[in-house]
Chain A
């Protein structure tokens, strides 16, 4: 297709899986417990600049999660309900997000990959572009 470019970046896999969806780049960290409604997949945190937006079916790109102990449960519950993101790409390593996805995989058999990207690679993840994630952590971005 004319006018489209493809960029390929390598990320580090925290929780393995594959996905293909539109990127939703969050300007700031999101708390999956308290700041997010797993029933409909929207951002609740009224202090968040993207409050009200839905993360359902998207690949979320964000720096890290915000730290409630309930974070893994929020991630797992949204995966259970199919309201959550199909993948999460983080700038910083985040145990809570990774564990939430791992537990959901164990309980429900759904793989939601969780990846971390280096600073340069992270900049390639632009809101609205389409991305395909392979199990080895390669991300192909089209746009």
Chain B
């Protein structure tokens, strides 16, 4: 398809703004060609992943921007990084060069004007994009959440393209930026499941895992999710559908803004496929996330994606007056922004007193304690449960936040609140 460029686009491509503008626009134009986009669209916001150091190429890339004293035309917020800037010892395992370069990459993105939020859940911070805004997203759960829950519009932009597109403020107009690209094509019907189960956060994570695995990269429509499904549960679905599948947007009837009813999400057409979700499918999905047997617990990992203020409130209430078992390490990952609010609201004190470690800027995948952990880890996150066995030498138990806290305090896996025998999850 022919790509129609504006005079300004063409001028950048011709190098009128210097070599950096030409390079950045060249990358965006190439992406547009591959995507088959007819033209480029303006964006109003970006959340970039290229700040997440992986090797020296990341540093060499951002240096080009820093050396040119680059500034972005739109607000640019940053994803998590592999180190916690506040705790230099955090990644001692990775060596001096890794730590120095990772911190330098982070510093340079700050220097060129990015807002250093270092979070995979930027949607928890006020001042971000709103309904209908064209944006640049990169981290997979944030892309799914912005598209689905906020109603902002983004494809999933990989490293470098995210920064280049933000620098020129333009994206290929294709995929989820367009109305047509946002049409649901596969429907998941939950109405045959018990309502009390559908109301739980744990169910939402398991559902996301199931939907992602079946939907692949299609846009799914979920019918039967309660109207008042909380944001934390929608975060869980967003993370899980993007982990087990390539889902970058979902609709939930009566819950997400572009699905006031089925027909709106389907844009007046029929779904290509309708999957009636049975209790057995849900239990099988949960089992695939939770392969470890019961027994002594080594660690609990919460906060993937980053913990919200409301999750801190719930956790503070759950742990109040109890202590984590001495054999258990308990991590919560979050952003500095949310941590500060949780602190002001008094939620952090009981959490710290219980012996729980709050980690900012990063994710527990990248923490040395997790790296060294060889054992049984419990999480309430389907995304963590999906990725951890591949990235770390751990066995995963997936359960509700309540069961995670109960297990942490007793030192062994307990499934009493949500997964006790005789209840829905019992298999």
Q: Which residues from chain A sit less than 8 Å from chain B, CB to CB? A: 14-15, 33-35, 38, 45-47, 67-74, 76-77, 79-81, 93-96, 98-100, 102-104, 106-108
Main secondary structure of the interface of A (DSSP, over half): helix
Q: How many residues of B contact A (CB 8 A)?
A: 33
Report, nearest first, the 8 A-B pairs whose CB atoms are least far apart: A77-B55, A76-B57, A69-B49, A96-B158, A73-B159, A69-B138, A77-B57, A72-B158
CA distance A15 to B29 in the complex (A): 12
CA distance A96 to B391 in the complex (A): 21
The answer to whether B160 touches A76, judged by C-beta atoms less than 8 angstroms apart, is yes
CB distance from B198 to the nearest CB of A (A): 29
Q: Provided the pairs A76-B57, A77-B55, A100-B160 are in contact, do residues A67 and B246 lie with their beta carbons within 8 angstroms?
A: yes
Chain B minimum-CB-distance residue to A47: B390
The answer to whether A69 touches B139, judged by C-beta atoms less than 8 angstroms apart, is yes
Set of chain A residues within 8 Å of B56, measured between Cβ atoms: 77, 80
CA distance A63 to B222 in the complex (A): 29
Q: Provided the pairs A47-B390, A99-B30, A100-B160 are in contact, do residues A73 and B246 lie with their beta carbons within 8 angstroms?
A: no
CA distance A93 to B156 in the complex (A): 15
Which of A45, A72, A81, A94 contacts B159 (CB under 8 A)? Answer: A72
Set of chain A residues within 8 Å of B50, measured between Cβ atoms: 73
CB distance from B170 to the nearest CB of A (A): 15
In the complex, chain B residues 180-210 whose Cβ is within 8 Å of any chain A Cβ: none
Beyond A15-B30, A77-B56, A99-B30, 6 additional pairs, beta carbon < 8 A = A46-B390, A76-B61, A77-B55, A96-B158, A99-B161, A103-B61
Q: Which residues from chain B sit less than 8 Å from chain A, CB to CB? A: 23, 26-27, 30-31, 34-35, 49-50, 52, 54-58, 60-61, 64, 79, 138-140, 156-162, 246, 387, 390-391
CB distance from A107 to the nearest CB of B (A): 5
The answer to whether A103 touches B49, judged by C-beta atoms less than 8 angstroms apart, is no
CB distance from B191 to the nearest CB of A (A): 31
The answer to whether B57 touches A95, judged by C-beta atoms less than 8 angstroms apart, is no
Chain B minimum-CB-distance residue to A99: B161
**12 A-B pairs with C-beta separation under 8 A:** A33-B54, A35-B390, A69-B52, A69-B156, A71-B159, A72-B158, A73-B54, A96-B158, A98-B31, A99-B160, A99-B161, A107-B57
CB distance from A13 to the nearest CB of B (A): 10
Which of A38, A45, A96, A108 contacts B55 (CB under 8 A)? Answer: A38
Chain B minimum-CB-distance residue to A93: B34
Chain A minimum-CB-distance residue to B137: A69
Q: Provided the pairs A67-B140, A73-B159 are in contact, do residues A99 and B54 lie with their beta carbons within 8 angstroms?
A: no
The answer to whether A73 touches B34, judged by C-beta atoms less than 8 angstroms apart, is no
CA distance A15 to B33 in the complex (A): 11
Q: Provided the pairs A14-B34, A95-B35, A102-B27 are in contact, do residues A70 and B52 lie with their beta carbons within 8 angstroms?
A: yes
